[in-house]
Structure 1
Amino acid sequence: MIRSFFYFIKLIFQQKNLILSMAKREVATQHIGSFLGFIWTFVHPMIMIFVFWVVFSLGFKVKPTNNVPFVVWLTAGMAPWFVFSDIVNGSAGVIVSNSHLIKRTLFHSQILPFIKIVSCLITHAVFLLVLMGLVIFQGMPFSIHYLQFFYYLAGMSVLALGLGWTVSALNVFIRDVGQIVAVVLQTGFWATPIFWDINMMPPGVQTILKLNPMYYIVQGYRDSFIYFSPFWKNPYDALYFWTVAVIIFVMGALIFKKLKPHFADVL
């Protein structure tokens, strides 16, 4: 079983050229027939951030958090959540929408959720560019700690891929999975401290909220771009996150591998 599992993972790296090619095609397909084309990739996150900034800063008059401009604090939290949400939500229907490929005996369908990750990273890069622009505009300092966002991005990708394998495989047999995923992600968006500071909650509630593995990623992005706190400063939080992420990753791979032979019969 162990050898079979590692072979399942190994196939992803062997298909890296195909993954990059299909990811590029997926991104290009999103803008076919559009006059502005790839520019919409920049417009969407900027408008989203602007709307939330107007609502919370000007409407609700939310004050800076820990002397950090709210728009910067908000964007640093939104960036990892939205790429995570796009990956998991998009992975739910990726097998069904590519049924013509699944029926080909030589196509390794486990790469489809990974393709979703690669394509979503382009939008994530735009989010990060907007974040850096806000940092410069607000006159905030630069730091080498910016680079550690790659660590948190890697952790988020492991978690998202495990979930992507799980929901994509289950959705082939239970089509309600896609709707359930959308509801869970919407609930998780508000349950994760993106718009609000977790320190405003009682200690007991904070402990429960920190069980959400995406809390570690969201806080990690803020530690990287705002607070300049090294990722090794919270070893217990890191141990908990990686334990959960690896378990979900392995379980997702095993579920996908178990159900994969039956995809063509159902589609």
Structure 2
Amino acid sequence: MVILSRIYAYIENFYLYLRLIFVQRYLICSMAKREVETQYIGSVLGFIWAFVQPVVMITLYWVIFSVGFKVQPKNDVPFVVWLTAGMTSWYIFADIVNGSSGIILVHAHLIKKTLFYPNILPVIKILSSLITHAIFLVVLIGLILLQKMPVSGYYLQFLYYLACLCVLALGLSWAVSALNVFIRDVGQIVNVILQIGFWITPIFWDLQMMPPQIRIFFKLNPMFYIVQGYRESFIYFLPFWKHPYQTLYFWIVAAFTMFAGALIFKKLKPHFADVL
């Protein structure tokens, strides 16, 4: 009974944790808007820079791999489209997690001097990152139309995979943002892990290149599910329920990550003001 009551208490606290995000939704939207505006304040081109970075990045990788290394189309799909579909999902994930690692330190003045709920800060980062994500999507759809590839209602399925990504990223962001307050090396460690994760996730390369016996290890990476899902939404037009076991595995990992991240943040939050 003691164990059950403790589990119930954890679940109830987690529910209240999520409910707080809903209660603070107007503040979250306002701060996310302000964060986007401050990124380009003082620059001559302003918001145009948000378009320049994705276009330059995709063009650079396309020239290197398609023109330089002569990478062939994947299953009759132009490599630049295949690559962009994978990068679109990874870029926002890396931006959220990497940006959240130091977000408590950046807003230390709010935590020390006002009645503020710091657990909403990673949510603010997620909302602000959606702007760049939308630009990546525009570029992706533009490339699809330019290559005269078919258009489908399956495009809307990306919203499901985006929700998957946000749940996973939010759990990780809560954990790394809280830990970074006490161990300042966490931000650097996160950056290194994301660089490794970029190359072990099938973004530039196809999983079919690997021997069958080791493919399962790459599929254990939860970002594989999301990257592949974006491609299935924009290129292959496959519904997410075609992979029931992968879907179940992903949500188990994502739910555990989100719950663990919230627990870590909740345990460390009372000590933020003493360290900042």
Residue 175 (structure 2) aligns with: 166
Moved over 4 A (4+): none
Equivalent of 1:228 in 209, 215, 237? 237
Q: Separation in 1 of the partners of 2:113 and 2:208? A: 52
Equivalent of 2:59 in 40, 45, 50? 50
Residue 25 (structure 1) aligns with: 34
Residue 88 (structure 1) aligns with: 97
Which SS does the other structure have where 1:65 is aligned? Answer: coil
1:117 aligns with 2:126: yes
RMSD, aligned CA: 0.7
- Tell me by how many angstroms 1:105 deviates: 4.9
Q: Separation in 2 of the partners of 1:243 and 1:38? A: 38
Q: Separation in 1 of the partners of 2:17 and 2:153? A: 36
- Tell me by how many angstroms 1:5 deviates: 2.0
1:152 aligns with 2:161: yes
1:66 aligns with 2:66: no
Q: Separation in 1 of the partners of 2:243 and 2:219? A: 13
One-letter code aligned to 1:198: L
The total of aligned residue pairs comes to 267
Any idea what the Cα deviations from partners look like across 1:165-206, whole Å, max 9, x if unmatched? 000000000000000000000000000000000001001221
Q: Counterparts in 2 of 1:1-267, with a 5 A limit?
A: 1=9, 2-267=11-276
- Tell me by how many angstroms 1:76 deviates: 0.1
Which SS does the other structure have where 1:142 is aligned? Answer: coil
TM-score of the aligned structures, taking structure 2 as reference length: 0.96
Structure 2 unmatched ranges of 5 or more:
1-8
Which SS does the other structure have where 2:83 is aligned? Answer: helix
Q: Separation in 1 of the partners of 2:14 and 2:237? A: 38
Which SS does the other structure have where 2:75 is aligned? Answer: coil
Q: Separation in 1 of the partners of 2:73 and 2:214? A: 23
Residue 6 (structure 2) aligns with: none
One-letter code aligned to 1:241: F
- Tell me by how many angstroms 1:255 deviates: 0.5
TM-score of the aligned structures, taking structure 1 as reference length: 0.99
Percent of aligned pairs sharing the same letter: 68
Which SS does the other structure have where 2:224 is aligned? Answer: helix
Structure 1 unmatched ranges of 5 or more:
none
